[in-house]
Every structure is written in structure tokens, then in C-alpha cells.
Chain A
Amino acid sequence: EDKVVQSPLSLVVHEGDTVTLNCSYEVTNFRSLLWYKQEKKAPTFLFMLTSSGIEKKSGRLSSILDKKELFSILNITATQTGDSAVYLCAVSSSGNTGKLIFGQGTTLQVKP
């Protein structure tokens, strides 16, 4: 059965800290891995990763994929209170359905 596992489940840091969120997966016919940020309602798209070792970066956020070890990390540097959210990892397998399998999420709280 396809599975996505995120760790830690929750994390409390102070502003300015750097955090690393983890996502491991077991999926048949892997196609891509996606990171989303969920604040109150809708998951908002952050990154899509398809190739190993190529870092994707957006401001203070970055992510990388290791297809050999079947995991990805999401780094957030110089955290701000606005980074407080649930971070979701999802995996898409090949085929034409585009279905995403989500992990349970990591709840990040950034304290002032």
C-alpha cells in the first residue's frame, strides 16, 4: 500500500531558528513529491520535486528529494511567526490520474 510518513508531527521553535521537516514515502511508480503549506483551510502549493539532488528554493524555504532513500526534506531558515502552519507532503505516482497521497503533516509553531 502506498504510504507517506512525515516527521516530526509537531515542532515548536522561536523566531530566527532553522527547521527541517522530513517526509519519507513508499509509492509504486513514483512520479513527483509535493510540499504544501496549510494555514487555516486550503493547502497552498510550495514545491514540486521530481529529480534527486536538485534543490528547489523560494525565499527562506528550500527542499530536496532523494529518490534512492525515498525521502525529502523541507528547510525553513530564519523562521517567522507567519511560518506557523501545517506542512503537508504528498506524492504522486505515474499514470494519468494525478492522485496525491498525503502524509499526516507536520504542525510548526513559531514563537516570537
Chain B
Amino acid sequence: EPEVTQTPSHQVTQMGQEVILRCVPISNHLYFYWYRQILGQKVEFLVSFYNNEISEKSEIFDDQFSVERPDGSNFTLKIRSTKLEDSAMYFCASSVRSEAFFGQGTRLTVV
């Protein structure tokens, strides 16, 4: 069964460092997303990406964040200068329309 894959599963980084989270969406899907879940809190939308551009972003997705689809298969989330409050589980998802399928997540710990 096709699935969304994310790497790495866990990343520890120092405050102020740049991180890149990687995702391979399901191959025939058209919409790609990043969500995050801070421990004990709800899943929050960060950004959606369609037709090689951002289609919507949340208030959380400020200038420190960027997304890219560098080739036909990968979809990345970059955080330029990490803060302690960026520590969370980051989920990539993809969909044809509304029915989004999620990857296993990357747990980002900023120390």
C-alpha cells in the first residue's frame, strides 16, 4: 500500500541551527502539507502546497519556515534558525483532495 515516508524519524538540533525535514508523498497525490503537533496539543496546520507553490499557510509559518519540492518526489520543510518552541512532531501529508494521508512524523527536539 502506498504511504508517505518521512526522514529522519528523530532530529536533535541546537537552537539557532537550520534543519531540513524530508518527505516523500504518495506518488499520484497533488496536494502536500506540513502539520505539527507539540507534545500534548492538537495537530496544527502549517502549510499546503499545490502545483509547485504554497496555496495556504498558517500564522505559525513565518519567514523562518520554507517548503520546497526540489524534484518529482521529495517535499521538504526547512526551518532556518530553530527556536526552543519549534520542538514538536512534524507530519507531512499528501492527498488527492481532502482525504489526507500522513507520514510517521519527524520528532524535532531543539536544545
Contacts and interface: CB of A to CB of B under 8 A. Distances in A.
Interface of A: 31-32, 34, 36, 41-45, 48, 88, 90, 92, 95-105
Contact of A34 (B33, B44, B98): B98
A95 B41 CA distance: 26
Contact of B48 (A90, A99, A101): A99
Contacts, number: 64
A48 B98 contact: yes
Given A97-B50, A99-B45, A43 B102 contact: yes
Nearest to A94: B98
B102 A97 contact: no
**Interface size class of chain B, counting residues whose CB lies under 8 Å from the partner chain:** 20 to 34
Contacts of A41: 89, 104-105
State the majority secondary structure of interface residues on B. Answer: strand
Given A99-B45, A100-B100, A42 B50 contact: no
Contacts of A95: 56
A45 B100 contact: yes
Given A42-B91, A90-B43, 9 more contacts: A42-B105, A88-B43, A92-B98, A96-B50, A97-B50, A98-B98, A100-B45, A101-B45, A102-B45
A88 B45 CA distance: 14
A42 B44 contact: no
Contacts of B100: 34, 45, 98, 100
